[in-house]
């Protein structure tokens, strides 16, 4: 049985009658890195603020650590660390002094400052004024602040936003080690699927406040699917042979393109084509990138929403299918 660190049920938040988050059901397993994906303005930050008790939902339920956030807010949030948008700090103070201001509020042991600075790789720069830090170092200091209270759950909102490739790599590797080395479950939001793909074990995709996909990262990758492209001589004649072999390709620019074909079928087909004196120039697998899949999912979700809005009265069946 899966233990969930976070579960939401029909979580909803509206602003001036418009839904920023619409009946959202999150399920975040314990001990994983959960990638919370969506275009800018999809409702990610609003969701995170509700999870942290910073804003109240209009309706719905939030459960964390199998407790109701509405009833047990203080005890829950003591077990959570967070970095929402950009970290706050005092530029004229060094890292140790900045962390001390937070440590005194949390009332944790002073040794935690050294521990979290080591975790985020800032020990050597701990006594430098923070105003001289790079953006990536400031983000790492923000994560150090979130780790001071030894949280079981870490919530990070767009932690790589605005960073250069080197800074992105630093933050990514830091996040990846959290479940393995410290047993921390991580919720990380982003609008970059390619970035989340490299660190998340499960993923939820939100668009216009609605969840449009939620599953493991391998299952998302399988949804991308693949095609086999065979470049060869006399493609029209080759199509006849392919159909005789039980394969039904489409023809595009002198290539036969197959979906749902396994390795055994490919081997038998190529052998048959060679026996028929076709010249095989290239056999390659092409997989749709996850970025393309992400764009397709969000575009399809938008189209479905428009079809519901534009459906004439009495078109209840169409509405149900679209949903």
Cα gap 199→194, rounded to integer Å: 10
**CA dist 164 to 20, 125, 134, 136, Å?**
30, 20, 10, 8
Neighbours of 221 (CB within 10 A): 14
DSSP 128-148: SBGGGS-HHHHHHHHHHHHHT
What is the pTM for the complete model shown?
0.77
Are 64 and 242 in contact by the 8 Å Cβ rule? The answer is no
- What is the predicted pLDDT for the residue at 301? 66
Nearest partner of 308 among 317, 294, 319, judged by Cα: 319
Q: Which fold has domain 226-287?
A: Alpha-Beta Plaits (3.30.70)
Q: Each residue's pLDDT tens digit in the chain (323 positions)?
A: 568 999 999 999 999 889 999 999 999 999 999 999 988 889 999 999 999 999 999 999 999 999 999 999 999 999 999 998 778 889 999 999 999 999 999 999 999 999 999 999 999 999 999 999 998 999 999 999 999 999 999 999 999 888 888 888 988 999 999 998 889 999 999 988 888 888 999 999 999 999 999 999 888 877 777 789 999 999 999 999 999 999 999 999 889 999 878 889 999 999 999 999 999 999 998 876 667 777 777 777 666 555 444 444 333 323 333 33
Instruction: Give me the half-sphere count of Cα atoms (radius 13 Å) on the Cβ side of residue 321.
Output: 7
| Residue ranges covered by each domain of the chain | 4-222, 226-287, 290-322
Cα gap 274→4, rounded to integer Å: 54
Are 137 and 125 in contact by the 8 Å Cβ rule? The answer is yes
Q: For 4-222, give the CATH class.
A: alpha beta
**CA dist 45 to 54, 94, 209, 239, Å?**
11, 29, 10, 51
Nearest partner of 131 among 97, 157, 162, 101, judged by Cα: 97
235-244 and 263-275 helices, crossing angle to 10°: 120
Q: What are phi and psi of 86, to 5 degrees?
A: -90, 145
- What is the sign of the dihedral through the CA atoms of 169, 171, 176 and 177? positive
Eight-state DSSP code of residue 179: I
Q: Which residues pair with 27 in a beta bridge?
A: 7
């Amino acid at each position: 049985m899966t233990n969930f660190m976070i579960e939401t049920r029909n979580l909803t938040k509206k602003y001036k009658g418009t839904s920023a988050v619409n009946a959202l059901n999150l399920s975040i397993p314990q001990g994983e890195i959960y990638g919370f994906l969506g275009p800018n303005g999809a409702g990610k930050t609003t969701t995170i603020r509700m999870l942290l008790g910073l804003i109240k939902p209009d309706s719905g339920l939030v459960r964390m650590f199998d407790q109701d956030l509405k009833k047990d807010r203080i005890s829950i949030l003591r077990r959570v660390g967070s970095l929402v948008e950009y970290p706050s700090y005092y530029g004229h103070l060094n890292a140790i002094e900045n962390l001390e201001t937070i440590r005194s509020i949390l009332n944790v042991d002073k040794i935690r400052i050294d521990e979290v600075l080591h975790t985020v790789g800032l020990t050597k720069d701990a006594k430098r004024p923070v105003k001289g830090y790079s953006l990536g170092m400031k983000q790492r200091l923000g994560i150090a602040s979130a780790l001071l209270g030894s949280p079981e759950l870490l919530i990070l909102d767009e932690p790589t936003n605005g960073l250069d490739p080197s800074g992105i790599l630093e933050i990514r590797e830091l996040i990846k080690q959290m479940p393995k080395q410290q047993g921390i479950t991580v919720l990380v939001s982003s609008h970059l699927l390619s970035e989340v793909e490299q660190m998340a074990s499960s993923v939820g995709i939100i668009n216009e406040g609605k969840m449009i996909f939620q599953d493991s990262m391998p299952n998302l990758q399988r949804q991308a699917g693949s095609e086999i492209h065979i470049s060869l001589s006399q493609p029209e004649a080759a199509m006849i042979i392919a159909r005789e072999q039980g394969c039904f390709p489409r023809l595009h620019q002198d290539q036969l393109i197959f979906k749902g074909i396994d390795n055994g079928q490919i081997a038998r087909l190529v052998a048959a084509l060679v026996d028929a004196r076709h010249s095989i120039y290239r056999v390659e697998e092409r997989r749709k990138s996850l970025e393309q899949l992400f764009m397709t999912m969000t575009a399809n979700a938008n189209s479905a929403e428009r079809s519901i809005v534009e459906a004439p009265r009495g078109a209840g069946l169409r509405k149900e299918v679209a949903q």
